[in-house]
Chain A
Amino acid sequence: MSLLEVHRLTKSFGGLKAVADVDLWVDKGEIVGVIGPNGAGKTTLFSLISGYLTPDEGEISFKGLSLMGRTPHEICQLGLARTFQIVQPFPNLTTFENVLIGAFNRTRGVPEARLRASEILKSIGLFEKRGFLAKTLTISDRKRLEMARALATQPDLLLLDEVLAGLNPTEVEWMIQFIRKIREQGITILIIEHVLKAVMSLSDRIVVLHHGEKIADGSPEMVSRDKRVIEAYLGEVL
């Protein structure tokens, strides 16, 4: 049994099939990358898994439990956290409070949650800015904050939606190292990424979506040689 199993997942918006018949699994300890051209259905897939959207058809299970009909907070409490592509901070709360709210998820009591929030802020390099209101942070700091809040919920599986977008090369390099570090701590990662070079080097396995369908699934080398993938990315160098 894999940690996350998605079976024949389908979601349409009007006449458009955003996600069509997708099968997907993530094993414990893996880093799995999800790539695909714009509009391939990557974010929709994440929203379905994390409970923000209800699938039309298909089945999702996590740790052997069905996620169907569960709300996002229940899914988060089960140990599946996500970040948002467009960062979603609590703007008028401090950096510390933002992370603290996540930390309440699987801790008992305020002191333990505060401790947990401090640890995460230190590891992600935001501890010095813990007193700043989230709305005053720079974009790259907000990306870190988004990640910190998700990590604070103590997930077993973390869905990362384009956490590298909008970062400069140094920041991208730092973030890649950080993602590797959290995997070493035992957190499994499913990551959507547009920065192909980064996701290729980071992932154990790559899943390629195109027009809502899964067109490839395998090691980065395998996927980058796949004819259908090259066609989908026509002109782009993998």
Chain B
Amino acid sequence: MKYVPVLFGLAIFLILPVVVDSYFLTILISIFYYAYLSSCWNILGGYAGQLSLGHAAFFGIGAYTSSLLFMKWQITPWLGMWVGALLATVFALFMGSLSFRFGLRGFYFVLITWAFAELLRLITLSLDVLGGPTGIYISVHTSPWQFQFSGRGPYYYIILGLTIFILIISHKLEASKPGFYFKAIRENELAAEGSGVATARYKLLALALSAFLTALGGTFYAQYLKYIDPETTLGVSLSIEIMIRALVGGSGTPFGPLIGSFILTPLSELSRTYFTKGGLEGLPLIIYGAVLIFIVLFLPQGVATWMKEKIAGYKNR
């Protein structure tokens, strides 16, 4: 019975592309795209409590690997995405073992992840083999075998599928030993060690899992827009966009990032569309900022946590 609302919601989102126009579909793709990335971030930042401001690095490795393999050797992105994900994992493990070995926590971990992502951005910017500042245009061969489709519908279903996939992973994680160990590390690392949790290993596990899945999102982005450049795929603003949806929706909860994306993504997309007339260009950012401030001030645990408490309170009455 408890799956009825979930199935009902799923049915609506499966039918939606048939009834909505192309603009609306673009927004829906954006919503699920950010929901997916933010859910990936949530495994590391939300559950394991290791705040990363460098997820653009994993995303960028995914996007660049599959795109370069495709453009240089015509290897289909369906294959390239797994190569990218593995590379991102290796990179994450390198970064993680360095920072955890030196005991970096809290703000220092935030800074090191940010620094590693910036490093990748600057390297990509200066290397012509990687496309340099102009980035990479992905040539159009509309064929499902090349991860290219006509129209937006197929992209919508792919990102919806990825989002459902990560929600299932998060849901399974919640009730599993690794999931509880992640939370233990977030809550009290000292006590976690004393309870038999191999904290260093589990932090690396969370990081690897998060990086692997994030990189898959990078390939999706590259194939969807058919253009990548260092600024948008490796820049810190992407890392912030990813992180902030989980924080607003409720980090460390399975549905938090999805809820956060449903609040923030349409807001930024719609306000960007409707406030482009003269003199109002800055307004979207102001609205966006105001909503962020409101949520941070009044719902610091995130919307999902607030909703859960409200529902629990209603049931107990």
Contacts and interface: CB of A to CB of B under 8 A. Distances in A.
A136 interface: no
A1 B187 CA distance: 38
Interface residues of B, number: 19
B190 to A, nearest CB: 6
B191 A73 contact: no
A8 B175 CA distance: 45
A74 B195 CA distance: 10
Interface in B158-196: 175-177, 180-181, 183-184, 187-188, 190-196
A110 B176 contact: yes
A231 B248 CA distance: 61
B199 interface: yes
Nearest to A76: B196
Contacts of A71: 193, 198
Interface string A97-126: 100111011100010010000000000000
A224 B103 CA distance: 44
Q: Interface majority SS on B: helix, strand, loop or mixed?
A: helix
Contacts of A110: 175-177
Contacts of B197: 73, 101
Given A50-B194, A93-B187, A73 B177 contact: no
Interface string B184-217: 1001101111111111000000000000000000
Q: Interface majority SS on A: helix, strand, loop or mixed?
A: helix
Interface string B71-107: 0000000000000000000000000000000000000
Contacts of A166: none
A149 interface: yes
Given A104-B196, A110-B177, A89 B183 contact: no
Interface in A58-117: 71-74, 76-77, 81-82, 84, 88-93, 97, 100-102, 104-106, 110, 113
Interface residues of A, number: 30
Interface of A: 50, 52, 71-74, 76-77, 81-82, 84, 88-93, 97, 100-102, 104-106, 110, 113, 149-150, 152-153
Given A88-B190, A89-B188, A101 B195 contact: yes
A102 B183 contact: no
Given A97-B183, A110-B175, A90 B191 contact: yes
Contacts of B195: 73, 76, 81, 101-102, 105, 149-150, 152-153
Contact of B180 (A72, A76, A84, A100): A100
Given A90-B187, A90-B188, A91-B187, A104 B180 contact: yes
Contacts of A72: 193-194
A89 B184 CA distance: 9
Contacts of A84: 190-191, 194
Nearest to A109: B177
Contact of B193 (A73, A93, A97, A150): A73
